[in-house]
Structure 1
Amino acid sequence: MVSVLPGAGRRLLLASLCAVASLAPLAAVPAAAAGALPPPGRPEDQGDHLTVVVRHAGAGRDGTYRVSCHPSAGRHPDAAGACRVLDAQTRWGRDPFAPVPPGSTCTMLYGGPATARVTGTWAGRPVDASYDRGNGCEIGRWDRMVPLLPEMRASA
């Protein structure tokens, strides 16, 4: 059975087919040749990778750490543990790096001058998160990311 389209319908169909056909040569170009993929051999550019900069946390804790996950690797004291905590904190529809919600009621506990900044890519999304220990909510947020962030022991 042959269907005949009115003039406008034929033109629309023809225009659609031409548009799709014009994209076909682009699809044939390998993604690596188009520059869409990172160069091979640089795991920090592929998948889940983060840079953690820790300041004012004390000797042996301050510094810049890099961690890649799936598989875990990098210059981090506990890359495998960091990846485990990140995987455990990752839930569909929730940002594991989200700041404390505005208006939260937090204890007025001070956890010290330590700060951290986490940047990179996690679960296919860009990350740029800052951490401190200025109140009970921020301390809890920090502690949920140990060992990605260093454990801060209370002074006796």
Structure 2
Amino acid sequence: MLPLLLAAALIGPVPDPPPTYGAPPRPTTNEVTLSYQAAAGFAMAVKLTCDPPGGGHPQPVQACATLDEVDADPGRIKRASTACVLLYQPVTATVTGTWEGRTVNWTHRFGNTCDMRRATGVLFRF
């Protein structure tokens, strides 16, 4: 025991290591703009924020859940089996913003608004 005490006296006190807290938390603001524009010029757009759901979308909880299920890729949404009139009135839908820290930029052209809503669920129901 005496040799350990002598060794400790010669070395001196050992400082505690500095605390480590890990990487700073990365903000995960999920905020996108949903918009669509008809070839004839009609256009609509809303902001959608998630965590917590909000923004100008009339159904933000459902829209956020839809984006969460497909990792913010509307092209992965399962198409509804509703019928649409075969009237060609093209409309371009766009989703831009950030989701889980990455940039989202999705655009798709549909034959009409019914086809767009059938393919994207609640996202473009505003």
Q: TM-score, normalised by structure 1?
A: 0.46
Separation (CA, whole Å) in 1 of partners of 2:87 and 2:100: 32
Task: Answer 1 or 2: higher relative contact order, Cα 8 Å, separation at least 6.
Answer: 2
SS at match of 1:112: coil
SS at match of 1:66: strand
Matches within 5 A, 1:1-156: 47-56=29-38, 62-90=43-71, 96-97=73-74, 112-134=89-111, 139=115, 143-150=118-125
SS at match of 2:36: strand
Deviation of the 1:123 alpha carbon: 2.1
SS at match of 1:76: coil
From the superposition, tell whether residues 97 and 125 of structure 1 become closer, same or farther in structure 2 (CA, over 3 Å): farther
SS at match of 2:120: coil
From the superposition, tell whether residues 98 and 85 of structure 1 become closer, same or farther in structure 2 (CA, over 3 Å): closer
Q: TM-score, normalised by structure 2?
A: 0.55
| Structure 2: segments with no counterpart, 5+ residues | 1-23, 77-85
Whether contact under 8 Å (1:86, 1:145) holds in the other structure is no
Kindly provide the amino acid, as one letter, of the partner of residue 33 in structure 2. Answer: T
Separation (CA, whole Å) in 2 of partners of 1:86 and 1:131: 16
From the superposition, tell whether residues 128 and 55 of structure 1 become closer, same or farther in structure 2 (CA, over 3 Å): same
Deviation of the 1:68 alpha carbon: 0.4
Aligned twin of 1:25: none
Deviation of the 1:57 alpha carbon: 8.9
- Structure 1 moving runs of 4+ over 3 Å: 109-112
Kindly provide the amino acid, as one letter, of the partner of residue 51 in structure 1. Answer: T
> How many positions carry a matched residue from both structures?
95
SS at match of 2:121: coil
